[in-house]
Structures are given as structure tokens and as C-alpha cells.
Structure 1
Amino acid sequence: MNNSRALAVEVLLKVLRNKAYSNIEINNVLKSSDLSDADSRLMTNIVYGVLQHKYVLEYQLKPYIQDKKVEQWVMIVLMTAVYQMQYLDKVPEHAIFNESVEIAKANGNKGVGNFVTAVLRNYQRHGFQELPKGKSSYALSLRYSTPVWLVDLLMKQQGTNKAISVLESINQASDISIRVNTNKTTVDDVIDKLGKQGFEMKKSPISSVGLTCAHGNLVNTEEFQEGLFTIQDESSMTVAPALGVEPNDQVLDSCAAPGGKTTHLASYIDGGSVMALDIHKPKTKLIKENSQRLGYQDIIKTKALDARKAKDSFEPETFDKILVDAPCSGLGLIRRKPELRYFRKPEDLLDLQRIQLQILNSLTGLLKVNGTMVFSTCTFDAEENEDVVMKFLADNDNFEVVPVKHESSLDKNVHDGVLKLLPDDYFTDGFFVAALRRKK
């Protein structure tokens, strides 16, 4: 199938019905179809746009659907149509209309096609309904298509103005960011090589090895295949430096897949090693592939193992440094995975906090005295971050927080020694990094 609109509906159905990740489903479709570059961009734009504006689109459609029971795929067809009419000014309305009705007929029957026609005609006639104004959590939830509980959490933890800034930021298309493999090349060399291919690369304000660009397929470049760089968000590039790895260190990366931070840790090693664990065996293969491409296969070893059981597989005080990039809600990734906001529930945060503490507590004996353990997450809520650090310290009086090693541009993001990035600070993922030293 090479119909970009029909493929967008297919992807959205998988995401919203099966809780699949949008970026993975989009990549699967792009690999298996023969879409032109323009159609690939349209399909991707529709998928992300509908996920980013889902509540707004449902609000627009509600008067014309009322209490009718509408199958999920039909609702998705309607949302894709209204999204294009409202947000994509270069797409002719008659094309949107005709194709949406054809998709409805192809997947249902003439009756479904007639229903879609009637709803879209009504929407065309009446136009975009104004959204509720004001700063109530309901108004903000609708305006930014974010669940009320998450809006409330942001407002409580960050204040109303900062919450609005974060909500505005997460509904903008994300940049592509890469980490330069400085053991093979230089940042300026990569800028030069990719620039000659039309990629407008900019230096990251928060990582000396990071570069960003607005769009383009960097994975298909020779430079990527040669391991001159890897795809990694700028915020996650703050994690490896926080450990302060020395060349001869024995390092444990306890939740390592797909290996972005693992290979970053390996870039500091000369004589030591990195042991990378992941609970899922297939994911250790990803770590191996990444380490081979980047040239760290002799430094990185992998093992399929639940981090909570690592103490049974290694001798006490084996490691100089331990990274716990813990399982988390991923709320900091919403710009790149907009569907996450609909899948998460408030109780998930405390369930994840329990797992994070189990991992941290189970690894304490593997760290040498005076060694550093870094705890990081890709989320911005306190339950999974600051609260975890406080609870861990209360249970482990032989550990203390030490100020996170960071680039000077991040000074304003470090409070009480820990680093916290919100999605609107530098247009990156939301992230948290804390460094803990074993003092006895």
C-alpha cells in the first residue's frame, strides 16, 4: 500500500489500540512501503499531529457525532481528516475529503462512507470551534491534549507558567540529535561532512559532543554506518559525564539497551571495561551492534540479566562506577512519543518508583567504597526522581549525593547537586541525573 493517508490511519490504530510506539510503527511502514519522500513526510506528520492534538480533534468532532457509538478506526479516519483541514494549510481540502471517505469505504462499507461524509461536511460548514480559555487544568488539558492528571502534576511541581511552557513545547516537532564519536572523528569534521550532504547541523548548547538538525535521515549516511556518530538525545548525553569515568574503571551499566549511554561510557575507557546488562536478551544484541559499529566491542561486554539480580552474578565491590538508567514513565519523551501521555496513569509513577528503589538497593554492594553510582531517568516528575533519591539515602546511610559533573551551560539546571532538564529548557527530552557516592 502506498497511500500515505491510509497508512497513517493504520499506524494510528496500532498505536492507540495496541499501545505500540509511534516511532517504531512509522519506521516499519516506511521500510515496507514505496512512499515518496513527500508522502513519507505527510504520513509521519499526520500520525504525530493526530497524537499531539487528539483531545482537540475529538472536541471538534463531538457535536457531529454526539452519543453515537463510533468504531475506533472510524474515529481515527475522522481525526486524520480534521487534523489535515485545520493544521496543514498546503493540503487541498477536496483531496483530504475524498481520500478519507475512500478509506472509510475500503475498511467498512458504504454506510460508514456516508457517515464520514456527513460528519466532515458538518465540520466544513461550521469550522473550528474555539477552545475554552483560561488556565484551569481542564482548559489546559484540552488545549494541549494532555490528561488532566498530568497537567495537575506539572502545575503542582513547576507552577502554572512553567507548566504551560512545557505543554507548549511538547507539541512541537522534535529535532534529530546525534552524539559524535570523538574516538573516531571530531565534531567539526562531522558538521562538515553532513553539511556537504545538505544537513544543517547545529552544536548542542548542553553537550560538547552533541549536534542537532531539524529533519533528515541521518541513519542512511555513510558516516553513521562508519560509526562516526550515533543517534542520541542531547539530554541523555549528560548521563555518562556525570559518572566521571576514568580510563581503567570497571563500569556497570545496569539497564543498558539500546546502548547509547553504554557506548558513551566506553568512550572514556582505556584499559577498563563496561558490563552492560538488560533484562531482555534480544536487546543485548542491539547493544552489541551499536558497540561494534562505534568501535567499542573490546570494551563492552553484555549480559541478559535483571539488574535486581546482578548481586548474585558479580563479586562484591566489583565496580568503580555504576549507572542505573532506570525504567521510568518516559514522560520526558512525550515530544518524540506523544502517545505516552495517553497510556500513563498516576499510579504508574509509584509502581515505577518501587522498581527503581529495588534496583538501586540491590546494586549497592557491587560498588567499591568511594565509587559513584549515577541514577538517571527520562522523566520530569518528582516521584520518580527526587523522591527516589531521598528514599534511597534514608535506607542507605553509607551513600551521599555528590554534585553532578556537568557542562557549565547547565548550571541553572542543577539544584541540591542533582540535574533536571524540562522539555522546554533546551528543546530536548525531559531528564533527571543524580550522582551518589559510596562513602563507607
Structure 2
Amino acid sequence: MKPAPGVALRIAATQTLGVVLQRQRSLKAELAQRLPTLRDVRDRALLEAIVFTAIRGHARYDAALKAWIPKPLGYRDEDLRTLLYVGFAQIQMGLPAHAAVDATVEATRAMGRTHQAGMVNALLRRALREGLPEVANDAAWPAWLRTRVRRDWGDAASVVFDASTTPAPMWLRVNRTRVDRDAYRTRLQDAGIESTAPGFPEDALRLATPVAVSELPGFDDGLVSVQDGSAQCVAEALAPSRGARVLDACSAPGGKSAHLLERDPTLRLLALDIDPQRLRRVRETHARLGVGSNAELRAADAAAPDTWWDGVPFDAILLDAPCSATGIVRRQPDVLLHRRDTDIDSLREIQARLLDAAWTMLAPGGALLYATCSVLVEENAAQVDAFLARTRGAVAEPLDARFGRDSGAGRQRLPGEDGMDGFFYAKLRKA
């Protein structure tokens, strides 16, 4: 017999979460496959919310299971553990008991674990009565990464850890080539969507409550994009001169290059990415926003310009470098599950190679913006300091406090500051 709709959704959430937790699959990739199979947009939103909440809260759930179960669950019970996470997540979200408990207990039976349904019911009802145990906000962070963040930021590390436990706000970037920001804000208000317009960045709107993209007026017509405020600051920091020749060295999924073109359609922009599949997303993004005719797209390795570069220097280069993504944990909580200590050294080597290669392609007097969504000093300020030390004619150009706190030659915004994601920016000028 086919499970009831609520039960089927809990099973789908358990399967999605299990793949991320046990098989180390990307949450974003798994949701991209799973969500389209749900016909009701409300079911999609609920599944996504449950899984995100469960990953953020798994340290609390582990503490509950450790305290409440005399005998720890074994490796054969990983799917049961994941189902309990799904139940605890619903309780944490404040769902009614009949949804959080009853449907999850029925899902236990539907998954062939009828003999454990009573235990699931008891554990979830205990969580309802007593609440889930409180744990430190850094409990979900692996010890090696927690140590690095504390070393880098001292007392301010709590800002990073606190932000990682809460959902990120939804930011929009208004396409100035198609609509004025104030006019679009009025359209949002007419649709019952409240927003605020910050003084910086100037194309941004921040929603009071996240909504489905399908609810955004004119999204399919390219009036607006979903992009965090920190990512929008990239175009503000690089600020190429009108009509400049620009390279976006690691361009996928295309939001930052599109923003540059929205600000100045006369730019001669080359959007580069090493992955042809990801470059397809750049093309789709540019097409939706109406800037596709203004950019050249090429699948190539920015760290190996001798394989593709025509020798004509660029006036401005954006290097949004591969990084640990530790500044966007609240958006991608599975970063804490998948990142390994050894990854950081590998990423630093890639970043250094990209910096050195990009510099060879920059025209005298040109600007290179090095940016990451990391909070680790070794990927950011220390990486830039090392580059400046080994590179003749490279000068750091100061950015103002709108881009975050001072950090070496650049600026670092920690996650949650100004409501934005964690991001680092350093602007380098070739003398």
C-alpha cells in the first residue's frame, strides 16, 4: 500500500538526509534531484526545510540520542537514526505533533521498522515534552576546523559559530538594466512580499521572509536574481571602468559576471570556468538576465593561460577562488560534514596558482579582485600577503569598511554581519 502523503515526504526527507550524511553527497546536488520529484511546491519547501534544519541541528540530536537511549544505535540502524533526525528537526521547526510525531512514526513502519515504531514515538514525544538538549553553537564544527576559526578570530569566532546555526536571509539583486530597484520593491510589496533596501550594496533587496523563486515577480523575465549581499559586493569592489576588458576567472554559476554586465553592458567580458557543465549554468543565467550577448564564455583552466589566452591583457580580473566555503555554512551546512583538514592545503595551492596565473594576464594599471567565501585567514589575508611578497609591482588598494573588517591587505565580513554571508575581498593593482 502506498504511504500517505505526509509519510512519503518524511521518507523522502530521510533518504535525502541519509545520502548526505552517510555517502558524503552534496546537499545541493541531492536536492536538485529530489525536489523536482515532488509535485506540490509546499512539499518541496517542507522537505528542504527539514533537511537543512536536521543538518544544522544534528549535534543536538546526537546529544539527545546519547542521553535517552541506553544502548547506542549501531551501524545497521543508520536509516533509523536519520529518520529520528527528521523527526527532531520537525519538532525544532515547531510543526504540530500530528505532523512531527505521528507521520514520522508511520514512516518508521513504512520503512520496514515496525518493531522500532514505539521507540521512535517515545523519543519524539520526549523531545516535545522536554525540548532537545542544548549544545554549544560550535558543536557541529569538526574539532580541527573549530580550532582554526578560534585561532583566526579569537572572541569574534562566536560570530561565525552563532551564524552557522540559523538560516540565512534571502537577498535579491535587482537587474538595473530592466527595472529600477524602488520600482521592483513596489512590485514585491504588491505581491505581499516585504523587503528592505540597504544603502549598500546598491542593487540589493533583503526579504523579511524567504519565498519560493516562483513567487518573485518577473523572475523568469530576468528582473531579479537571488544573490547574497556579500556576493553582490564583488562587483562593487572590482568596479571596472566603463567598457573595460574583464575576465571572470572562475565564473560558474554566473551571478557575479551577470552583475558586472548589468552594471555596465559595454564591458567586454570573458566568463571562464574549468567545468563545461558548470559553464552551461553561466550561459543560462546570462540568457535569463538578458546579458548573454555581451559576454564570451569559455571552458578552460584559468591557472593555465598558455592553453587558451590570446595574449591580450585584461583591464580587470575577478578571481572568485575555490575555497573552504566556511563563510556560507548557514547556506550550505553540509560543508561541515564534508570538509577535511587536508583540503585546506590543497585549496591554498590552487588559490596561489590562480593568483599567479591571473596576474600575468592583467594589464599595467589594471585591478584584480581576489575573493572567497571563506573565513579562514590562511585562504584570505595570509594568501594575499604571500602573493604581495613574491610579486613585484603588486599593490593592495584599500577597500572601505562597507566590505567588512580589516584583515591584512583586504576586508573580511564574518557570516551574519550586516545580515550577509562570510566573504573576503582584496583588490590588487598592477603598478
**Residue of structure 2 equivalent to 1:50:** 54
Alignment pair present for 1:13 and 2:18: yes
1:258 equivalent in alignment to 2:261: no
In 1, Cα distance between equivalents of 2:405 and 2:227: 20
CA contact (8 A) 2:191 2:217 kept: no
User: What pairs with 1:167-186 in structure 2 (closer than 5 Å)?
Assistant: 167-186=161-180
CA contact (8 A) 1:140 1:151 kept: no
1:136 counterpart residue number: none
Mapping for residues 58-69 of structure 1, pairs under 5 Å? 58-63=62-67, 64=69, 66-69=71-74
Gap runs ≥5 in structure 1: 133-138
Q: 2:138 aligns with which of 136, 141, 146?
A: 141
* Counterpart in the other structure of 1:84: 90
CA distance in structure 1 between the partners assigned to 2:41 and 2:237 by the alignment: 43
Asked whether the 8 Å contact 1:288–1:302 carries over to 2, the reply is: yes
Does residue 423 of structure 2 align to residue 419 of structure 1?
Answer: no
Tell me how far apart the structure 1 counterparts of residues 62 and 70 of structure 2 sit (CA, whole Å): 10
Alignment partner for residue 300 of structure 1, among 295, 302, 318? 295
Aligned to 1:210: 204
Q: TM-score, normalised by structure 1?
A: 0.89
Q: Once the two structures are superposed, what CA deviation does each residue of 1:392-429 show, in whole Å capped at 9, x if it has no partner?
A: 1222122111113x5x644x634555121101211211
> Paired residue for 1:105?
109
Corresponding residue to 1:32 among 33, 37, 40 = 37
CA displacement at 1:24 relative to structure 2? 4.6
Q: 1:105 to 1:391 in 2, by over 3 A?
A: same
In 2 relative to 1, CA 154–124 (structure 1 residues): closer, same or farther, beyond 3 Å?
closer
SS at match of 1:245: coil
Which of 341, 346, 352 is the matching residue for 1:351? Answer: 346
Aligned-residue CA RMSD in angstroms? 2.4
Using the TM superposition, give the Cα deviation of residue 80 of structure 1 relative to its aligned residue in structure 2, in angstroms: 1.8
Give the equivalent residue in structure 2 for 1:73. 79
The answer to which of 194-203 and 52-61 deviates more is 194-203
CA distance in 2, matches of 1:220, 1:18: 33
Cα–Cα, structure 1 residues 30 and 272, in superposed 2: closer, same or farther, change >3 Å?
closer
Task: Map Cα deviations across residues 320-355 of structure 1 (whole Å, 9 max, x no partner).
Answer: 111111111111111111111121122211210110
* Residue 179 of structure 2 is aligned to residue 191 of structure 1: no
Counterpart of 1:105 in structure 2: which amino acid? R
TM-fit CA distance, 1:95: 4.3
Q: CA separation in 1, counterparts of 2:309 and 2:41?
A: 51
Look up the equivalent residue of 2:138 and give its one-letter code. S
Cα distance in 2 between the residues matched to 1:124 and 1:293:
46
Residue 130 (structure 1) shift: 4.7
Aligned to 2:250, what secondary structure does the other structure show? coil
Distance 2:256 2:322 in 1: 14
Q: Partner of 1:224: helix, strand, or coil?
A: coil
- 2:345 is equivalent to residue 340 of structure 1: no
> When the two structures are aligned, how many residues end up with a matched partner?
423
Residue 218 of structure 2, aligned match among 217, 223, 237: 223
Indicate how the Cα distance of structure 1 residues 36 and 435 shifts in structure 2: closer, same or farther if over 3 A, else same: closer
- Is 2:400 the partner of 1:395? no
Find out whether 1:321 has 2:310 as its counterpart: no
SS in 2 for 1:293: helix
Partner deviation per Cα, 1:98-119 (whole Å, 9 max, x = no partner)? 3223222222343344553565
Tell me if the contact between 2:159 and 2:414 (Cα under 8 Å) persists in the aligned partners: no
Q: CA deviation at 1:147?
A: 2.2
Q: CA deviation at 1:84?
A: 2.8
Q: Provide the TM-score with structure 2 as the length reference.
A: 0.90
Contact kept, 8 Å, 2:61 with 2:132, in 1: the verdict is no
Q: Secondary structure of 1:321's partner?
A: strand
Q: Which moved more, 1:123-132 or 1:305-314?
A: 123-132
Q: Is 1:437 equivalent to 2:429 in the alignment?
A: yes
SS at match of 2:259: helix
Contact 2:381 2:408 survives alignment (8 Å):
no
Q: CA deviation at 1:146?
A: 2.3
- Corresponding position of 1:362: 357
What residue ranges of structure 2 are gaps of 5+ in the alignment? none
Distance 1:211 1:352, change over 3 A: same
Deviations 1:134-171 (A, max 9, x none): xxxxx5533xx2223333222221123x2223222222
Query: What's the CA shift string for 1:72-100, capped at 9, x where partnerless?
Result: 21111112223333x244411x5433322
